[in-house]
Structure 1
Amino acid sequence: MKNTLISAVLAAVLTSWTAAPAQTPVQAEAAAGNLAPIIFVHGNGDDATKWIPVIWMFESNGYPANRLFAIRFTDPVARREDSKPEAFRSSTTDQASELSAFVTRVLLRTKAHKVVLVGSSRGGMTIRNYIKNAGGAAVVSHAILCGTPNHGVLATDTNLDGEFNGRGYFLRQLNEGSELVAGVKFMTIRSDKFDKFAQPNVGYDGPELKGADNVVLPDLDHREVAFHPLAFAEMYRFLTGRPPETRKPTAEPSPVISGILTSVEGLAPTNRPLPGVRFRVFALKPGSAVRSGDALLDITTSETGAWGPLPVKTDTGYEFVLAKDGRSVSYFMSGIVRSTALLNFRFLPASAAQAVSGPAPSGPRLLIHRPQGYLSKDRDPVLVDGAAVDTLTPGVPTRDSVSVSIAAGRASVRVELRGETVHARPAESENELNIVEFIWD
């Protein structure tokens, strides 16, 4: 009887061992509390939304969601002269101060001793400034700089007060002596010749730092070296010592999304909350831009600009509508596969849309936008109902959006880019701006 009881207990233990799914090394480290929080730092004029796909890829490889953060700078556009105040623009000191406060909040929230900082473009310069000049070296273990113009976008003897001038005061100070800071592991990720801000006048290798782990990803553009799956794979390798198991976000069964609404002041995008906006979200019928019933969410934003939470389906397209002062801006998006609280929508004025995409065509139109990368004719064909958009130019990608005319009477068009399909409704009036948002590719 005793031997029978022991055998039963052993069998139960062995069964529980074999039934339990094996943890990945990253999941095991997460369970032990050994993974440093990662803070993603966006670039000039950008927003935390840019990092959503990268955060999803980290989550899909076992990195805990509660250790992944993205800062949203109040005024993300740099001043034209760093020392001269400019409305709705930020200095290098403004940016480093905001980052310092955000890091402190993350350390307090997670009880961690150090963080990892990952920056895109200007965000990498802010990271370097914080580490070198604001005490960040004591609390940062790794710094990953993606497409950061560490030696300038240009190098001239004029406007030495310009943040992006390789011969200017700011970058000279960052680069004097060692380009690294002791105690912090640095990696840079750059393109070969496709980064519009790393051209021959400064050098294609301008983003590199002496002594860092310098990675080159051929054919990727200025933004892709931060947001492309290949860039994610290099980040993951640098932090964990191993390649990721997947370079695609895995879908959650029931994602929940939220975010804020912001605006543009003059031609400077800001991340300041925008109150008084009627914000509605509609599910779309399969294969079209026709709304499927009433709004899933219908609110008017408060002083916080916040919206959500909103449950969504991974296989459904959505229209996000912002209405204020007699104008409306609609964002059309494909299925949202994971939860996020970082989804920011800007209430773009017509003038701002024209500034980034060129003069808007007459008649029904769409603005096609690719936030995580740029567009060029040969490399990134954009298809509207199967026909290629012919207004894009070949060569080094420099534009993230393009306006297209749509034949009159079309209630829905199909827009494709790199295997992602978004169904959208063209804008019919001057008070309406409709945007195809390719945020997940």
Structure 2
Amino acid sequence: MQRATRRIATALTAIAGSLLLSLPLATAPAQAASHDPVVFVHGLSSDASTWDDWIADFEADGYSSSQLFAWSYDWTKSNATTASQLSSYVQTVLARTGASKVDLVVHSMGALNSRYYLKNLGGTAYVDDFVSVAGVNHGTSTAALCGWLYTSCKEMTTGSSFLTALNSGDETPGGVSYAAYWSNCDSAIDPDSSALLSGATNVGVGCISHTDMNNDHGVYQQVRDFIG
């Protein structure tokens, strides 16, 4: 009787083992992609909506809307004033997301207030990647058209005291990864080379207009890969 019981138990164990082997292995749930929050900074005579195309592209490539922050500010003010406001905004983003750092993606004059934040207001501690898209990093002769109207525009004029101080010493301070994307036919930045940054990854994107630089999909793909 005992032998028969053992045979039955052995047979049942073998059947159970076969059934377990035939079941598909459980897989761990896919981990959501981890990204730094991205803060987008517009330029002169613009607003947050200038980033709508790229925000849609980032979302299509796996970012959530809660990781993407297009910031608007009063572009007529001094870039130093705007930089202080940007500093506060970045802290708000970090508090909201729980992240330790953000990526800054900026266009045109946005490069000046953002770089002032990095250089003079401790921003390098809170920024992982900095991307300048058609940034007026070394000024432009075209700023003379509006320099008499707006402080911010006067600061963009080639050789201004603001730019001289901003570009003195290290143009890419701290442990931030810097990139600058520039066009060889940007009529808003004269000369075109003013968009380059010493110490950054400088990338020529060909002939793309100033206003198209931050909604061009090809430029977007390069920026996405840089901060990705």
* TM-score, reference length from structure 2: 0.84
2:107 is the counterpart of 1:115:
no
Structure-2 separation of matches of 1:176 and 1:112: 31
Rate the CA distance shift 1:173–1:155 in 2: closer, same or farther, 3 A: farther
Alignment-derived partner of residue 166 in structure 2: 174
Structure-1 separation of matches of 2:38 and 2:143: 35
The count of aligned residue pairs is 211
Judge conservation of contact 1:155–1:167 (CA < 8 Å) in 2. no
Judge conservation of contact 1:143–1:186 (CA < 8 Å) in 2. yes
Shift of 1:205: 1.3
1:197 to 188, 209, 217: 188
2:127 is the counterpart of 1:135:
no
Structure-1 separation of matches of 2:14 and 2:65: 46
Rate the CA distance shift 1:221–1:156 in 2: closer, same or farther, 3 A: closer
Identity %: 33
Alignment-derived partner of residue 243 in structure 1: none
Judge conservation of contact 2:142–2:189 (CA < 8 Å) in 1. no
Whichever of the two has the greater Rg, that structure is: 2
Alignment-derived partner of residue 207 in structure 2: 219
Paired AA for residue 218 in structure 2:
L
Alignment-derived partner of residue 221 in structure 2: 233
Structure-1 separation of matches of 2:64 and 2:19: 37
Alignment-derived partner of residue 164 in structure 1: 156
Judge conservation of contact 2:33–2:62 (CA < 8 Å) in 1. no
1:99 to 72, 79, 86: 86
Structure-2 separation of matches of 1:186 and 1:150: 13
Structure-2 separation of matches of 1:122 and 1:7: 68
Which structure has the higher relative contact order (CA within 8 Å, separation 6+)? 2
Paired AA for residue 215 in structure 1:
V
Judge conservation of contact 2:108–2:135 (CA < 8 Å) in 1. yes
Structure-1 separation of matches of 2:101 and 2:18: 48
Q: Secondary structure at the match of 1:2?
A: helix
Alignment-derived partner of residue 286 in structure 1: none
Alignment-derived partner of residue 60 in structure 2: 60
- C-alpha RMSD over aligned residues: 2.4
Structure-2 separation of matches of 1:45 and 1:3: 76
Structure-1 separation of matches of 2:184 and 2:53: 23
Judge conservation of contact 2:182–2:195 (CA < 8 Å) in 1. yes
Paired AA for residue 172 in structure 1:
T
Alignment-derived partner of residue 36 in structure 2: 36
| Higher strand proportion | 1
Shift of 1:220: 0.8
Rate the CA distance shift 1:45–1:57 in 2: closer, same or farther, 3 A: same
Q: Which runs of 5+ in 1 are unaligned?
A: 79-89, 241-441
Structure-2 separation of matches of 1:9 and 1:92: 66
Shift of 1:219: 1.6
Structure-2 separation of matches of 1:9 and 1:58: 42
Structure-2 separation of matches of 1:58 and 1:121: 20
Structure-2 separation of matches of 1:38 and 1:174: 23
What does residue range 39-438 of structure 1 map to in structure 2 within 5 Å?
39-73=39-73, 75-76=74-75, 78=76, 90-154=77-141, 162-193=154-185, 195-199=186-190, 203-240=191-228
Paired AA for residue 154 in structure 1:
S
Q: Secondary structure at the match of 2:192?
A: coil
Q: Secondary structure at the match of 1:223?
A: coil
Q: Which runs of 5+ in 2 are unaligned?
A: 1-11
Judge conservation of contact 1:224–1:231 (CA < 8 Å) in 2. no
Paired AA for residue 165 in structure 2:
Q
Structure-2 separation of matches of 1:141 and 1:231: 20
* TM-score, reference length from structure 1: 0.45
Structure-2 separation of matches of 1:138 and 1:182: 8
Rate the CA distance shift 1:3–1:46 in 2: closer, same or farther, 3 A: farther
Shift of 1:46: 1.1
Paired AA for residue 194 in structure 2:
G
Structure-2 separation of matches of 1:71 and 1:182: 23
Structure-2 separation of matches of 1:156 and 1:61: 36
| Higher helix proportion | 2
Paired AA for residue 197 in structure 1:
A
Judge conservation of contact 2:39–2:103 (CA < 8 Å) in 1. yes
Shift of 1:192: 1.4
